[in-house]
Amino acid sequence: MVKAQLLWFLGIATTIKLLLIPSYHSTDFEVHRHWLAITNSLPLSQWYSDETSQWTLDYPPFFAYFERFLSVFARLVDPQIVDLHHGLNYKANSAIYFQRISVIVSDLFLFYGVYRLTSNLASSKQNLVWVLVLWSPGLMIVDHMHFQYNGFLFGWLLLSISFLAQKRDLMGGFLFAVLLCFKHLFAVAAPVYFVYLLRHYCWGGLVRGFVRLSVMGAVVVAVFAAAYGPFVYHGQIQQVIRRMFPFGRGLCHAYWAPNFWVFYIMLDKGIAFLLRKFGFNIPVPAASFTGGLVGDTSPFCILPQITPVTTFIMVLLALSPCLIKAWRDPRPLMIARLVAYAYTCGFLFGWHVHEKASLHFVIPLAVVAVESLEDAKHYFLLSVVSCYSLFPLLYEAQEYPIKVLLLLLHSILMWFCFSAQFSNNIATKVTLQADKKTSQSLVKKKKASQSELKGSSRTTAEKGGFVLGWVAKSYLFGILVVEIWGRFFHPYLLGDKFPFVPLMLMSEYCALGISYSWIWQLKQILLLSP
Amino acid sequence: MEKVRRLEDEVNAENDDNEDDPWWWLVQKGIKPSFICISVFALLVRVAVGLHPYSGANTPPKFGDYEAQRHWMEITINLPVKDWYRNSSVNDLSYWGLDYPPLTAYQSYIHGVFLKIFRPDSVALFTSRGHESYLGKLLMRWTVLSSDVLIFFPAVLFFVLVYHAIQSGKGRKSDVAWHIAMILLNPCLILIDHGHFQYNCISLGLTMAAVAAVLAQKDLPASVLYCLALNHKQMDLPLFSCFKMSAYFAPAFFSYLFGKCLRHKNPLLEVVKLGLMVIGTFAIVWWPYLHSKDAAFGVLSRLAPFERGIYEDYVANFWCTTSVLVKWKKLFTTQSLRTFSLAATVLTCLPSMAQQMLAPSTKGFLYGLLNSSFSFYLFSFQVHEKSILLPLLPLSLLALEEPRSLLSLTHFAMFSMFPLLCRDKLVLAYIALYALFVLLYFAPGGPGGRCNSSKTLDQSHKAKASIKSISSIAFHPLVIGILCLFSVILHVIYLTTHPPKKYPFLFEAVIMLLCFSQFILFTFYFNLKQWMLSKHLTSKDRQKKLI
């Protein structure tokens, strides 16, 4: 029954995904097509050294195996898709349909992950989580329009979290190791996993602890051996590592992900501007942030340059309170929060972060959002900001109404769901008591009690229901202002001058929201006592 | 003490009901907010369908309906009003000349102005013929979207508010949401308007607004709205040789309003009022052409496609289907066929009209709309596959009364348009929208899922035994299963294999036969239902009187 309902939610999402097949797709589409070709036509030993196209394979081996698996079917559909040379930039309908449908089908993992994660929740909460995850506008934009396989990867993550929440730590750890071998960007949560598993699974007694530690270690090593073993065997391991960690890229992506570094860049620019006003001679840096790939030269005028090591230390520092908490009080029910928090830190302080990475914490937080009214309010804000920050991925006019409608629909659904969820809980309790007290005086039967019920539920909704504060409201309103400015007023008033301003405003503004979410999550993790 | 317990039970029952109902969160704020939510979703679906190709893309020299609409914009914004329907050196009527009533022309003018602002060359006189561009397509799609949002969506809201105010207290709250979804997300309308490219949402929206006005007892606005709908798209033509204007719903509107007038204190006054409204609306819409007889008849002659035959392509109506056996086109002249079709249409309309004149009721009116549009679809002259949208509209309005018929008719309506949509390369959208509709129909806890499980919604109406037996046969799982299987196989065959060379349209003919057989059954069934309705009512009245 539950599965049927969940399938229904998935089905609705699937029909929309099918309709979106002809929509715009980014170069990631060609990237994945080329990977199909590499894995299908080359022997394993050359997968990571091939340079036929600039889109070299830079995901870990499991993902390469996954592409190899898909390429079997791709060859059946149209051999040109997997042709290493003639398939370059191949955009026939067969390729588009095949790849799009492969994403849609691989979302079954997401389906199963959500199913497992929500199987113990009350039915109304289940509905809510399904709406938040399966109908997530972010996944719709990134996977089914922009083109990536995130739904599939999140399936693994959610599965891992669901096992941990059920205290089946070994399985959770195993799944996370598998996930890491699919996409190494998920490794940001590895410290949390490490500390949590060490403490919750291995701790307690010297012998027992040691046995468990070695079991867990063996499992993880086995997973990594399965992934990287063949490449070690072929002597390719260094090449694989080099491909997976291209630190030649800059601090920020072409479009700045809304994280801490946009504040840093703006501060730098601001100081430089002021100093120039006061007559200091500040050289303009050769590298610029808006140009996409950034070389080795420092793009900063005044502030010290940021290196990958700096960002690494920053992420660890930001993670440390959560690690300490996980060590002192490892609770299975907290794990979704901890993982989400880790990804938030990675997003805020990481090196060369993509805007898409905000999904890494928005999706797991969906499970947390149903827990309390405060969580719901936070999630509402975060989810809107995260989805809005994905807007620049789809810059063509054709998709403009789609992304706006997706965000609008998502906000409306969230608002409905949350207000039903959180006024319902209170209303039933209050009305039961109220009815008991006043029943003596009640003569009329059903009609009266119904109207009473409606009336009282309305009043409780006003008192304790899902209502955003004025700060949150005005912040959300600001998104509208930023969008209207960037879309309509800026091109009309300023023309081609300062073309970078709309995007910059967006990432600055969204960075505010994400930073707030970071602090809020941290507070929540630290304050929640056993 | 007992009261307390009973109250608690009731409260618990209410809560159980809420918990049972997976859509409680959607409907708890009332009809309007849930309407907004569903309509945003419906809009998203429409925009997504708009990504797909339109009819006649990249197929010179004549292209398709998209080019026709674009050409009308080109004509209307570049020529004075009086030249719109006149053949001249600047207006070649043989190339997609305007053949819709003036309201369509005005709408084309407004949309043309919109296109001109953003992409002048897409509507430039002469040079824009066959114009196809990224922005051009987008702007055209947006004109349909905006028409939908401005006319169809408010009409749905109006209808749903009125309809559920009449039926207050019956059924669950979430049934209203389901009803809205059934009307807004009908796959046929979306595919034709946003895929194939047409503006049916305007005429259907106006019709629906008129229906809602009728239900709200506002007959005068209803007649104005319906006249506007008529003036947007006549859908079908030279029925009445002198008054060349008719439409699928006209008999129903006429008979219901007329029947109601007869029951008024002063029947003549009411009829005159309605007549004045109708004439006034027509006069305003036709104003630019009323200065001379020639101009008016010039337009009228454009609306009547004299040169065309009784049917085109393979439409699942009576004439086309029976032509397999009787070669109508060879045996008779077009003129006599026109008389035949008129006679057949009027005859098949009569029962439902008579019922409405004798006992006008709101439910009977909705069935009347269904029946008259069906008889037009099946028997009138020059019917398109797309005309099946017209019977679908009243049926979707009756979704809560006839859930299974809606599913079944939608299925066959989609199927009957399948060859057309295949030509437009809309197969993917076809599959997706069909799946979406079926999923919505079987929404967890929704009326569709419920009536299929055990209880039928009809039971509350105590329909006559005969109807029950008919519907129990027609909707027997086995019958439905076989029909579904058969149509799935036909779909697959149509897509994958080539027909034998001797019969290039074999598959179309089979599809047509299947759909026609179903449509005929539906016509009988709904006519019967409408008549049962009045019997049921009169027996009830009698009982009341006896008491």
What are the tens digits of pLDDT across the range B59-98?
888 888 899 999 999 999 999 998 898 888 888 888 888 8
pLDDT tens profile B234-255: 654 434 333 333 467 888 888 8
Classify residue B461: in a domain, yes or no: no
CA distance A461 to chain B (A): 11
- Give the count of beta carbons closer than 10 Å to the beta carbon of residue A155: 24
Annotate B121-150 with b (16+ C-beta within 10 A) or e (fewer).
ebbeeeebbebbeeebbbbbbbbbbebbee
Question: Could you tell me which residues are beta bridge partners of residue B383?
Answer: B311
- What pLDDT sits at residue A254? 67
Whole-angstrom distance, CA of residue A216 vs CA of residue A326: 18
Q: Mutate which of B1, B8, B10, B11 to disrupt the A interface (most A C-beta within 10 Å)?
A: B11
Query: CA-CA-CA-CA torsion for B374, B376, B380, B384, nearest 10 degrees?
Result: -70
Residue for token pair 């969820």: A421
Q: What is the DSSP string of A93-118?
A: HHHHHHHHHHHHHHHHHHHHHHHHHH
Classify residue B207: in a domain, yes or no: yes
Q: Mutate which of B40, B146, B149, B153 to disrupt the A interface (most A C-beta within 10 Å)?
A: B40
Classify residue B216: in a domain, yes or no: yes
Is A453 close to B14, i.e. CB distance below 8 A?
yes
pLDDT band at B406 (very low <50, low <70, confident <90, very high): very high
pLDDT tens profile A218-267: 999 999 999 999 999 999 899 999 888 876 677 777 677 898 998 998 89
Whole-angstrom distance, CA of residue A530 vs CA of residue B194: 56
Whole-angstrom distance, CA of residue B125 vs CA of residue B74: 6
- What pLDDT sits at residue B20? 62
What is the token pair recorded at A471?
């700060």
Quick check: B199 pLDDT over 90? Answer: yes
Whole-angstrom distance, CA of residue A332 vs CA of residue A165: 4
Classify residue B470: in a domain, yes or no: no
Q: Mutate which of B10, B24, B25 to disrupt the A interface (most A C-beta within 10 Å)?
A: B25
- What pLDDT sits at residue B448? 77
Taking CA–CA distances from B6, the nearest residue in chain A reads: A445
- What pLDDT sits at residue B15? 46
What is the token pair recorded at A107?
């979302």
Closest Cα partner for A359 from A394, A390, A395?
A390
Q: List all residues of chain B from 66 to 125 with a beta carbon under 8 Å from chain A.
A: none
Closest Cα partner for A414 from B22, B15, B26?
B26
Q: Mutate which of A416, A419, A428, A492 to disrupt the B interface (most B C-beta within 10 Å)?
A: A416
What is the token pair recorded at B199?
């503006």
Whole-angstrom distance, CA of residue A64 vs CA of residue B335: 70
Whole-angstrom distance, CA of residue B189 vs CA of residue B191: 6
**DSSP summary character for residue B170:** -
**Which chain B residues contact residue A440 at CB under 8 A?**
3
CA distance A11 to chain B (A): 7
What values do phi and psi take at A353, rounded to 5? Answer: -85, 140
- What pLDDT sits at residue A455? 44
Question: Could you tell me which residues are beta bridge partners of residue A353?
Answer: A252
Closest Cα partner for B55 from B412, B419, B305, B391?
B419
pLDDT tens profile A342-379: 999 999 999 888 889 999 999 999 999 998 899 999 99
Taking CA–CA distances from A454, the nearest residue in chain B reads: B28
The distance of Cα B253 from the centroid of its chain, to the nearest Å, equals 15
- Give the count of beta carbons closer than 10 Å to the beta carbon of residue A134: 23
Task: Please classify residue B504 by burial: count the beta carbons closer than 10 Å to its beta carbon, then call 0-12 exposed, 13-18 middle and 19+ buried.
Answer: exposed
Please write down the HEC assignment for all residues of A339-364.
Answer: HHHHHHHHHHHCCCECHHHHHHHHHH
Quick check: A446 pLDDT over 50? Answer: no
- What pLDDT sits at residue A62? 95
Taking CA–CA distances from B52, the nearest residue in chain A reads: A22
Is B11 close to A419, i.e. CB distance below 8 A?
no
pLDDT band at A2 (very low <50, low <70, confident <90, very high): confident
User: Which helix H or strand E contains B319, and what residues bound it?
Assistant: helix B318-322
* Cis peptide bond prior to B391, omega within 30° of 0: no
What is the token pair recorded at B329?
């086109």
**Three-class DSSP category at A252:** strand
Dihedral of alpha carbons B403, B405, B406, B408, sign: positive
Classify residue B260: in a domain, yes or no: yes
Q: List all residues of chain B from 437 to 496 with a beta carbon under 8 Å from chain A.
A: 439-440, 442-444
Whole-angstrom distance, CA of residue B253 vs CA of residue B257: 6
Whole-angstrom distance, CA of residue B111 vs CA of residue B256: 35
Q: Does B10 touch chain A (CB under 8 A)?
A: yes
Q: Mutate which of B19, B32, B47, B174 to disrupt the A interface (most A C-beta within 10 Å)?
A: B47
Across A510-514, B234-238, B491-495, least confident range = B234-238
Is B24 close to A420, i.e. CB distance below 8 A?
yes
For chain A, the maximum distance between any two Cα atoms, rounded to a whole number of angstroms, is 86
CA distance B230 to chain A (A): 31
Quick check: B233 pLDDT over 80? Answer: no
Q: Mutate which of A5, A7, A15, A400 to disrupt the B interface (most B C-beta within 10 Å)?
A: A15
Taking CA–CA distances from B9, the nearest residue in chain A reads: A432
**Which chain B residues contact residue A20 at CB under 8 A?**
48, 51
Q: Count of A–B CB contacts within 8 Å? A: 124
Is B44 close to A409, i.e. CB distance below 8 A?
yes
Residue for token pair 């660890």: A316
Is A409 close to B37, i.e. CB distance below 8 A?
yes
Whole-angstrom distance, CA of residue A26 vs CA of residue B85: 46
Closest Cα partner for A113 from A175, A26, A186, A187?
A175
Across A437-441, A517-521, B387-391, B498-502, least confident range = A437-441
Whole-angstrom distance, CA of residue B50 vs CA of residue A242: 44
| Cβ(A134)–Cβ(A13) below 8 Å | yes
Phi/psi-derived region of residue A469, left when phi > 0, alpha when psi is between -120 and 50, beta in every other case: beta
Is A18 close to B45, i.e. CB distance below 8 A?
no
A5, A408, A419 member nearest B444 (Cβ): A5
CA distance B480 to chain A (A): 22
Task: Count how many domains chain B has.
Answer: 1
pLDDT band at A287 (very low <50, low <70, confident <90, very high): low
Closest Cα partner for B475 from B454, B444, B492, B445?
B454
Mean pLDDT within B32-38: 94
- What pLDDT sits at residue B307? 61
Quick check: B13 pLDDT over 80? Answer: no
Is A11 close to B439, i.e. CB distance below 8 A?
yes
CA distance B140 to chain A (A): 12
B6, B25, B44 member nearest A417 (Cβ): B25
**Which chain B residues contact residue A14 at CB under 8 A?**
435
Taking CA–CA distances from A101, the nearest residue in chain B reads: B428
Quick check: B17 pLDDT over 70? Answer: no
CA distance A480 to chain B (A): 18
Is A440 close to B442, i.e. CB distance below 8 A?
no
| Cβ(B183)–Cβ(B201) below 8 Å | no
**Which chain A residues contact residue B118 at CB under 8 A?**
none
Q: Number of helices and strands (H, E) in chain A?
A: 21, 0
Quick check: A381 pLDDT over 60? Answer: yes
Closest Cα partner for B10 from A442, A73, A103?
A442
| Cβ(B304)–Cβ(B245) below 8 Å | no
Give the structural domain span for B294.
Answer: 28-58+132-447+481-537
| Cβ(B31)–Cβ(B161) below 8 Å | yes
Mean pLDDT of chain B: 84
**DSSP summary character for residue B288:** G
Single-letter amino acid, residue B276: L
Sequence-separated (6 or more) residues with CB below 8 Å from residue A381? A468, A472, A475, A476, A513, A516, A517
Sequence-separated (6 or more) residues with CB below 8 Å from residue A370? A121, A125, A128, A129, A376, A421
- What pLDDT sits at residue A294? 44
| Cβ(B371)–Cβ(B358) below 8 Å | no
**Which chain A residues contact residue B17 at CB under 8 A?**
none
**Which chain B residues contact residue A123 at CB under 8 A?**
19, 22
Classify residue B214: in a domain, yes or no: yes
* Residue with more model confidence, B527 or B544: B527
pTM for this prediction: 0.90
- What pLDDT sits at residue A99? 96
**How far apart, in Å, do the first and last CA atoms of chain A sit?**
34
Is B8 close to A432, i.e. CB distance below 8 A?
yes
- Give the count of beta carbons closer than 10 Å to the beta carbon of residue A247: 12
B8, B10, B47 member nearest A446 (Cβ): B10
CA distance A175 to chain B (A): 32
**Residues belonging to chain A:** 530
Q: Mutate which of A1, A14, A19 to disrupt the B interface (most B C-beta within 10 Å)?
A: A19
- What pLDDT sits at residue A173? 95
Is B138 close to A397, i.e. CB distance below 8 A?
yes
What is the token pair recorded at B282?
């027509």
Is A416 close to B49, i.e. CB distance below 8 A?
no
Q: What is the DSSP string of A444-463?
A: S-HHHHHHHHHHHHHHHHHH
pLDDT band at A494 (very low <50, low <70, confident <90, very high): confident
What values do phi and psi take at A315, rounded to 5? Answer: -60, -45
Taking CA–CA distances from A439, the nearest residue in chain B reads: B4
CA angle B166, B170, B171 (to 5 degrees): 130
Q: Does B15 touch chain A (CB under 8 A)?
A: yes
Q: Count CA atoms closer than 13 A to B83's CA, side-chain side.
A: 12
pLDDT band at B455 (very low <50, low <70, confident <90, very high): very low
**Which chain A residues contact residue B41 at CB under 8 A?**
409
